[in-house]
Amino acid sequence: MVAKQSKWAAVLVLSLLVPVTAFAGATGGMSARAVVEKFQAELIEVMKNGKTLGYSGRYDKLVKPVSESHDLVKIARVVVGKEWEKLTSEQQDKLVDVFSKLSVASYAHNFKEYGGESFAFENEEQTTRGGVVVHYLFKVPDEKSHKFDYWLKEKGDSWRIINIIADGVSDLALRRSEYTTILQREGFDALIAKINEKIDNYSKL
């Protein structure tokens, strides 16, 4: 049981993190809170059918929800920091592409079953630069609840998740340090190779 809890730990901090695509679509005109809750509901639904769907089934089901609720382009840009500007357009596209796949793969791998988990809305507030942060508690039966804070920015006529802070650990900041370090130490190709390796592993685990 304890091991299971630790597992959740990990899952929470990381899986939500990964970014995904940005485009105006089914979430147009929705409030920030509605965007988050639509995504949460879709995620829980996939978890409930997780076993029967299998990895690839979960992956397919999650592509759209993740893509519609996150601002991938912005996240990808922020995550590689100033390195983004040093990439060619082709590299930027490649990064966004593998990043999308990694995000969905991570969700599909980590949210594979349902054990009564739920999200409870706490409150929401405006940020200084026109964003919104929506606070939730992620409730796991027989466990202490976990704080989940979703940061959203407006994109066109809809809101997009741009960062998730789980129990105080900011995915965006964490990823940013990780990705910029790899870019600086090992270069773009190594970064893409590492991301692809993770995607590959998720499909096999």
Partner 1 sequence: MVINKALGGGRPGIPLSSVTASFVLGAALALGGCASAGEKPAVAQANPADPYEDINRKIFAFNDKVDNYVAEPVANAYKWATPEFMQTGVANFFTNLKNINVVLNDLMQAKFQQSAADTGRFLINTTAGVGGLFDVAKHAGLEQNDEDFEQTLAVWGVPSGSYLVLPFLGPSTARGIPGSVFDTAANPATYLGGIGVPVSVVSMVNARANADGALKFIDEAALDPYVFTRESFLQWRQNLATDGKAEEKNDLADLEGDLLDEATASGDAAKPSAADAKPAEAKEVPEAAENKTAPEAQDAASAEPVKAAAVSLVPVASAQAGSTHSQTFQDAKSQYEKARFEYQLLQAEGAKKKARKTRRAK
By the 8 A CB rule, do 179 and 80 touch?
yes
* 10 is a site residue for partner 1 (CB under 8 A): yes
Residue among 31, 34, 174, 188 that touches partner 1 (CB under 8 A): 174
DSSP string of 35-64? Answer: HHHHHHHHHHHHHHTHHHHHHHHHHHHHHH
Tell the smallest beta-carbon distance from residue 105 to partner 1 (Å): 10
* 165 is a site residue for partner 1 (CB under 8 A): yes
How many residues lie near partner 1 (CB under 8 A)?
A: 89
Which residues within the stretch 85-124 sit at the binding site for partner 1 (CB under 8 A)?
85-91, 93-94, 96-97, 100-101, 106, 109
DSSP string of 115-167? Answer: SS-EEEEEEEEE-TTS-EEEEEEEE-TTS--EEEEEEEEEETTEEEEEEEEET
Tell the smallest beta-carbon distance from residue 91 to partner 1 (Å): 8
Tell the smallest beta-carbon distance from residue 31 to partner 1 (Å): 18
* 27 is a site residue for partner 1 (CB under 8 A): no
